[in-house]
Chain A
Amino acid sequence: MKRVPGQGLIEGLGVTLGEFTKTMFPNKGIKKLLPAPSKGAVTVQYPREKEAPPTRARGVIALMEENCTACMLCVRSCPDWCIYIEAHKELAPPRREGGKPRQVNALDRFDIDYALCMYCGICVEVCPFEAIFWSPEYEYSEPRIADLLHDKERLVEWMDTVPEFETYEAGSEAKVLKVPK
């Protein structure tokens, strides 16, 4: 179809006006006459209504304490050094009857300073023991910046919000979940 010069200008005005009426009058039928912008707009009125982030959103990092061996890989790979680990060695009961007690690393301290964290996810990627997980939870702002340092207990609590592992789409490398939740 041949385009008239200036047709695009008019169409552009039509697009904005169309969006305007769609936002202002989203209802159908006779109720269409009532303006209801809070229904038509895509805005989520955050403090009043919550947005549901995608399940794989990078909200907060959760810790599964049993899996952590204090290997310090996450600490060393963290770009801004916001993970603090302290551990001591202790003896755990043997796996099999009659075995020797095992020597394991027990966590004394596992802190993540969310004032420093830049949510790169390298620690989650690098952890060889599946001890660190992403959770989509995002509401943990604090009036005091020091309170953004989440200690071990707090990080373990976040484990409850970690969603079930979803398999990747077909054709991608299948990641085997070593530790069932």
Chain B
Amino acid sequence: MSGAATLAELAYWQQSVLRSVGVLVAVLLPAGTFVYLFLFKAVSFMQSRLGPNEAGPYGSMQLLAEVGKWLQKEDITPERADAKLFKLAPYLVVGTVLLVYAAVPFGPDAVFADLDVGIFYVLAVGSISVIGIIIAGWASANKYSLIGGLRAAGQLIAYELPMVLAVVGVVIQAETMNLQRIVVAQAEGEIFGFGGLGNPFILTQGIGLLIFMIAMQAELTQTPFDMPVAESEIVTGYLTEYSGMRFLMFFIGEFASAAAFSAVAATLFLGGWYLPGLDMDAKYMNVVGPIVLFTKMLVFGFIIFWVRFTYPRFREDQLQRFAWTVLIPLSLVNIGATAVLKVVF
């Protein structure tokens, strides 16, 4: 590939700079788009409002204004807080999102790291953010933060399991954990001998997708599962003591991970960067692929925020019971059924 060839001619530090910029763009662009399109606009329309419309055309520069506002605010560290950990936590949360993007393929060659255990890596790295959140809750030396952090820990662990188990179904069907090859498996799959559409796993793993979406909503602490940041009872949970730049980091982390998980969901269930009818190995897919993937991410993003602004919050015990007694057994059944069907056909 010409792209790969020119990349190889660059010095190592030049490659590294390019990759870092690439990851930053891949994180910030979808996160910003999600916030503007869905959090600001779609949600406003759902409430018969207009949303921000003063900054830039149709309010599209609102986010820049918000970032500017946060950067000006005072960076407060509470007196009793464990200052080092308190300052570390937001970077840990944002850092994990950057790591998730590293394994998501955007095109035949456009992937930062083509890992053989891709999806395993993504899920493993994605759950590091829990540690960041617990650190934030503990280091704030605030009882609301602590309760929020503990709730987040309980919730994220409870929903990590169904998420992993839902993915196992996909892995069984694709016979690989490599995200790139999962995309290829969907592109080359056939539905009862008809290969024109490929076989996006949404068709065969519909239950898996449903479980994945619910678990994703909980992992992102979006509204039906926003007990850890329930503002009406524990202020904003682990975010309570954060201000200015550090709050901005958490904010970016929240929506960047929404985008990251959408990208993973699109890769696993909607065929990733591939669109039926396009040439898989062509060079232009390195440009078209990211656009296709981005469009599929937007679909998932819309669903996330649509659900978020439709349902009221789960109670803590309901939330736990739902994960352990409904989602996990359901995903185990899904794995069993997938395995049996895989062997039979």
Binding site for B on A (CB under 8 A): 9, 12-13, 15-17, 19-20, 22-24, 37-38, 40-43, 45
Contact = CB atoms under 8 A, between A and B. Distances in A.
Interface in B41-55: 42, 44-50, 53
A57 B302 CA distance: 40
A44 to B, nearest CB: 10
B45 A12 contact: no
Given A20-B42, A23-B44, 6 more contacts: A9-B311, A15-B310, A17-B46, A17-B306, A20-B45, A43-B49
Contacts of A45: 50
B48 A40 contact: yes
Contacts of B47: 19
A23 B44 CA distance: 9
14 contacts: A9-B311, A12-B310, A16-B306, A16-B309, A19-B45, A19-B46, A19-B48, A20-B306, A23-B46, A41-B45, A41-B48, A41-B49, A42-B48, A45-B50
B50 A41 contact: yes
Main secondary structure of the interface of B (DSSP, over half): loop
B207 interface: no
A13 B45 contact: no
Nearest to A25: B45
B23 interface: no
Instruction: Name the interface size band of chain B.
Output: 10 to 19
Main secondary structure of the interface of A (DSSP, over half): helix
B307 interface: yes
A165 to B, nearest CB: 34
A38 B90 CA distance: 37
A37 B311 contact: no
Nearest to A22: B48
B143 to A, nearest CB: 34
Contacts of A15: 310
Contacts of A19: 45-48
Contacts of B307: 13
Q: Please give me the 10 A-B residue pairs with the lowest Cβ-Cβ distance, nearest first.
A: A23-B45, A16-B310, A16-B46, A20-B46, A41-B50, A43-B50, A20-B45, A42-B48, A12-B310, A24-B45
A46 to B, nearest CB: 12
Contacts of B48: 19, 22-23, 40-43
Nearest to A42: B48
Contacts of A17: 46, 306
A132 B53 CA distance: 40
A168 B48 CA distance: 33
Interface string B288-306: 0000000000000000001
A42 B306 CA distance: 20
A24 B45 CA distance: 7
Contacts of A22: 48
Contacts of A12: 310-311
Contacts of B311: 9, 12
Contacts of A13: 306-307, 310
A13 B49 CA distance: 18
A37 B45 contact: yes
Nearest to B58: A37
Contacts of A23: 44-46, 48-49
Most buried by A among B45, B47, B311: B45
A16 B42 CA distance: 10
Contacts of B44: 23, 41
Most buried by A among B42, B48, B311: B48
A172 B311 CA distance: 43
A41 B59 CA distance: 15
Contacts of B310: 12-13, 15-16
A38 B48 CA distance: 10
A37 B50 contact: yes
Interface string B253-275: 00000000000000000000000
A65 to B, nearest CB: 42
A43 B41 CA distance: 13
A42 B48 CA distance: 6
A118 B311 CA distance: 37
A37 B37 CA distance: 13
Contacts of B53: 38
Most buried by A among B44, B46, B47, B307: B46
A171 to B, nearest CB: 35
